[in-house]
Structure 1
């Protein structure tokens, strides 16, 4: 063999050269012990864990600068505008249901780094990523590296933890603080490491849990109690001393705690249903049956290996501990919510969810590095596709709320080049002003809140608008009939945009091309027989306001009137669509109680839902004919069967003479993403 200049080189010389290179590397690494120790640490299972953390970071930092604020986040930012910290406590925190920690942090953080999404969300994303590493370390301390890797792989990639890592609320921070507390707890209780930094870390992280969220505090209290049962007698006094030290660190918050505790719970939150635990498990596994099946297969595999290896039960106490730490916050929150004011929601349970995976995978023995790598890869093959494609996470979460409304409204203003009346049921002017500054574009808004307006008040407000265009939007949910009321005065549909937590509709007085909102309509003007409609032709009469137009007359004593019934699937109606029903009643009769009714039944004729809209709620003395609207979001009804029958009809409650006309049933494509965070779509 020859070298670069043609000189003969022996195999022995090559081997000596290779040894010299390796020796050179070793000498240089020894000169840099930090680099040497780092390279030594990140190999084998630790290298797999590092790879899991990288995947977690990629999923959380994807299009980092484009992650929009949720309404909850904007509400927290609104509270940073108080002139002093005292005002923040008295006006912003005492009225809230969360401890002062995260809100206090935001109060000072935004003053240094500003209000941009990237700046505000960064600390919480870092907490979410760091939590993945802590899950691995805790699993390794409690059981073995395999358990830690499998648990960390799930925490890195399920929607539950990815999403709440991207939200600047006390969820990612609470997950990190509680896992940090468990890390020091494990050093003291399990590994019996008596260094002072472990005890100090134990107390400080416990206090951070208390300042972060009351469910984080509750989880820390559970862990602290278990510590009393598991710690050795010789360290019991020291353990109690540092528990007392943690309590002392939280004393400045005690008055806030007492005042917030007097609230009892959250007035806006509904009580949990009996099926909460099942739906919560679905939520954890991203509503993917395949992911749930794979999880069960892993559980069975772990139990099989456990029994095959005749493993001793020395870890049963920790297995039981992990299971209790996962279950107890759910059970306690459920019972409290049923007996008192509701407090239970998915977000508050994120702090304990790692222990579901740690307890489940605790049956796995310590496997070879290659086997662990294969198992982690298989987990990613299920969790990442379910996040990206099954849940369409980056589609729905990155198109939401005020951010989407603001961008659509700006595009509309630039397009029509004339004033547009904007009515947004979104609670606070601050929210829209933020996007005015962010996008450097004025977004005029006529009305920020219209929850207080009833149907008549909303219609009267719209009647007084002077523009040719109106945009109606909401963040959260509002009565769907508001769109129909608006379209009655602005008859031409222009466009709409819908997504997670918001809907935005535009109507105009100027004729538009292809202006229909509805994919199917069945309108009864009582001028001819119609399929699927039932009504008595003997009741047809001439309209009192137009002799060329027919209408339907309820005679004295008649209670039930015209109706349309059929199978929803026959009308191509899916479980997320809207059903919009309207009818006109003659003004002299409208004060009497006539109700548009919609019932939904299954194939056995069992009632699923009954909805009604009364003519009394739409009466306006100025009009000769009154339009009554009933609109239904099928997502709210949660249809659980494929064969659903609808029946809409007029109920003449008082059995008095009433004139009816223009009975219309329309079907509109719905918004499957409206509750995308917490529901399967």
Structure 2
């Protein structure tokens, strides 16, 4: 019969091996993510001071530790996916070990086995242990801080000052890794004041002084980063159901996992109910899990959105700890059955149900760069116009430079307010027989492929990934888009499809033909089309509107689509148009694409109109509203690695 310590070591080693293999499997074969590349393009500085000032202070929203670590690691081991991500794999595996020791100290061996096994296998901690971003280090340092805090406060006073130094250093590492880890470390520190004894006050304060002293040189960097305003420009405020959705996400978004953990947890309460008393550590688990969420939620709603699932990973282990905290040690058969059941269910869910090792979770770049290089080589760079869209040109340049490829492409940032107008002009002036459009992890308006398809209707190659895509378009007289709806007017005759003030038909200015529509300040709704949703949308999800405008003054008009029941709730979408008018006194084209709302019904009324809220005067001509069978886009559709 095995001794208890031998059995404990075998199970612990098994959990650590599972954690390591879950994280290292296939970790170096998939593309760097946008956030990883965003860090790598901020490494090439001539001095350490430039790295701090330009690579971290001015262009980052995180403390310096991870960027400095990558800077040093890259010098020694290079910048491949496998080399850069490996230390983050180790940190993620180390987090599982730390949670085991914390759980064992707080609640006993069974809770330690179950909570660390969950952290080892659940896809949330596994995924964020594979990224070369602050999350894996932040989780490790957070749990290291808790372990040092626990040893300082709840073990004998032997070597108390040494323990205080360790705790202070661990706290400082949290502070230097991620601001949510910083906040979590502050919660830990404040909690400690409830458990101080007369003889531990001074060393506890010493640990705080050490943490502050280590962080002190970073304060100016942090203050500058806070002044930049954070990520609220693209991150939405959290909804009231955020916490529930986050818990489900942490449990693999899997009913099987949720039910299994709920059953195991409830059975532990029933079986061990005579020995259960709500302890201080259970209260700590609840508080530590909820407080970062509550603070992040309040800040995101009232000040600036910052709350994402990823930033709550540092406190996530304490949800697991609480769920398994009611287990005791003496029902060995029940406990062993719980280990086996939980392990099998979690492995099945992560590997098979969620298809973790094949599913894409982030926009890709390597695959897009590879396709661009192959197309330019096959068809000749002079025959292809290439447009790539993400947040920074340097990010798309990364893989080209890694492969020593001289690839010419035009870069656009999808969040630029002039992007659609600039692309409209770019495509209209393009003379090459082929056109490549690629984008990743950034806003890609549906107008862009619709604009390209007007001139390049042939899709020669299309490779769609999660939140990213690369498409090769071509010209061919045999290519025709299948039309679902088409309505056009040049105001040469009245049209039964459009309603407008016919007294405005004019011959003073025209884009084509002999007439245009003279819009006056009194014309609030210049031209309107009314149809039902089923007439405009079938297999497509989008409809596009184009027109030509001539104006000599300010232009504030908007294209609008509203949809719903005439007397009921309506969905309203508007596209701003001023960026299309770059030169007064010329005919210039406007363009917009609208997406069918997911809650629309086939018989809903759809109204598309040109709205003139600025009471402008201008001429309007050649209005076209069209939808096609291939006007369907879903950038977040599940995608799997090739």
Aligned to 1:30: none
Aligned to 1:78: 41
Distance in 1 (CA, whole Å) between partners of 2:331 and 2:221 is 51
Distance in 1 (CA, whole Å) between partners of 2:500 and 2:297 is 55
Whether 1:562 and 2:524 are equivalent positions in the alignment is: no
Query: Following TM superposition, by how much is the alpha carbon of 1:209 offset from its aligned partner in structure 2, in angstroms?
Result: 1.0
After TM superposition, the structure 1 = structure 2 runs for residues 146-295 of structure 1, keeping only pairs within 5 Å, are 146-192=110-156, 194-195=158-159, 198-263=163-228, 265-275=230-240, 276-295=242-261
Query: Following TM superposition, by how much is the alpha carbon of 1:352 offset from its aligned partner in structure 2, in angstroms?
Result: 0.4
Normalising by structure 1, we get a TM-score of 0.79
Query: Following TM superposition, by how much is the alpha carbon of 1:445 offset from its aligned partner in structure 2, in angstroms?
Result: 1.4
- Choose from 575, 595, 608 the match for 1:649: 608
Distance in 2 (CA, whole Å) between partners of 1:621 and 1:300 is 70
Segment of structure 1 superposing worse, 294-303 or 649-658: 649-658
Q: Work out whether residues 483 and 505 of structure 1, in 8 Å CA contact, stay in contact via their aligned partners in 2.
A: no
Query: Following TM superposition, by how much is the alpha carbon of 1:62 offset from its aligned partner in structure 2, in angstroms?
Result: 1.9
SS in 2 for 1:250: helix
Aligned Cα RMSD in Å? 4.1
Whether 1:133 and 2:92 are equivalent positions in the alignment is: no
- Choose from 421, 424, 435 the match for 1:459: 424
Q: Work out whether residues 124 and 168 of structure 1, in 8 Å CA contact, stay in contact via their aligned partners in 2.
A: yes
- Choose from 545, 549, 552 the match for 1:582: 545
Distance in 2 (CA, whole Å) between partners of 1:462 and 1:355 is 53
Distance in 1 (CA, whole Å) between partners of 2:552 and 2:632 is 33
Query: Following TM superposition, by how much is the alpha carbon of 1:673 offset from its aligned partner in structure 2, in angstroms?
Result: 2.7
Consecutive unaligned residues of structure 2, counting only runs of 5 or more, are 491-495
Segment of structure 1 superposing worse, 621-630 or 461-470: 621-630
User: In 2 relative to 1, CA 522–44 (structure 1 residues): closer, same or farther, beyond 3 Å?
Assistant: farther
Segment of structure 1 superposing worse, 99-108 or 230-239: 230-239
Normalising by structure 2, we get a TM-score of 0.83
- Choose from 6, 21, 25 the match for 1:62: 25
1:150-207: CA deviation from partner (whole Å, max 9, x where unpaired): 2222222222211111111111001001111111222222343634654433222112
Query: Following TM superposition, by how much is the alpha carbon of 1:126 offset from its aligned partner in structure 2, in angstroms?
Result: 0.8
SS in 1 for 2:425: helix
Q: Work out whether residues 79 and 88 of structure 1, in 8 Å CA contact, stay in contact via their aligned partners in 2.
A: yes
SS in 1 for 2:411: coil
SS in 1 for 2:20: helix
After TM superposition, the structure 1 = structure 2 runs for residues 97-116 of structure 1, keeping only pairs within 5 Å, are 97-116=61-80
Consecutive unaligned residues of structure 1, counting only runs of 5 or more, are 1-21, 23-38, 528-532
Whether 1:400 and 2:367 are equivalent positions in the alignment is: no
Distance in 1 (CA, whole Å) between partners of 2:611 and 2:171 is 63
Distance in 2 (CA, whole Å) between partners of 1:88 and 1:586 is 48
Answer with 1 or 2: which has the greater Rg.
1
Distance in 2 (CA, whole Å) between partners of 1:537 and 1:243 is 72
Distance in 2 (CA, whole Å) between partners of 1:123 and 1:305 is 41
Aligned to 1:487: 453
Q: Work out whether residues 16 and 97 of structure 2, in 8 Å CA contact, stay in contact via their aligned partners in 1.
A: yes
Q: Work out whether residues 175 and 181 of structure 2, in 8 Å CA contact, stay in contact via their aligned partners in 1.
A: yes
1:434-474: CA deviation from partner (whole Å, max 9, x where unpaired): 31244454332122546263433332233444422221222
Query: Following TM superposition, by how much is the alpha carbon of 1:228 offset from its aligned partner in structure 2, in angstroms?
Result: 2.0
User: In 2 relative to 1, CA 171–586 (structure 1 residues): closer, same or farther, beyond 3 Å?
Assistant: closer
SS in 2 for 1:503: strand
Query: Following TM superposition, by how much is the alpha carbon of 1:227 offset from its aligned partner in structure 2, in angstroms?
Result: 1.7
Distance in 2 (CA, whole Å) between partners of 1:674 and 1:627 is 32
Q: Work out whether residues 560 and 575 of structure 2, in 8 Å CA contact, stay in contact via their aligned partners in 1.
A: yes
After TM superposition, the structure 1 = structure 2 runs for residues 218-617 of structure 1, keeping only pairs within 5 Å, are 218-263=183-228, 265-275=230-240, 276-307=242-273, 310-313=274-277, 316-366=279-329, 368=331, 370-397=333-360, 400-419=363-382, 420-449=384-413, 451=416, 453-475=418-440, 476-508=442-474, 510-511=475-476, 516=481, 521-524=484-487, 561-566=528-533, 571-572=538-539, 578-584=541-547, 596-601=559-564, 605-607=568-570, 609-613=571-575
SS in 2 for 1:216: helix
Aligned to 1:27: none
User: In 2 relative to 1, CA 552–157 (structure 1 residues): closer, same or farther, beyond 3 Å?
Assistant: farther
Distance in 2 (CA, whole Å) between partners of 1:552 and 1:523 is 20
Distance in 2 (CA, whole Å) between partners of 1:287 and 1:645 is 33
Q: Work out whether residues 594 and 650 of structure 1, in 8 Å CA contact, stay in contact via their aligned partners in 2.
A: no
Q: Work out whether residues 67 and 398 of structure 1, in 8 Å CA contact, stay in contact via their aligned partners in 2.
A: no
Distance in 2 (CA, whole Å) between partners of 1:319 and 1:40 is 30
Q: Work out whether residues 421 and 590 of structure 2, in 8 Å CA contact, stay in contact via their aligned partners in 1.
A: no
Segment of structure 1 superposing worse, 341-350 or 459-468: 459-468
User: In 2 relative to 1, CA 514–457 (structure 1 residues): closer, same or farther, beyond 3 Å?
Assistant: closer
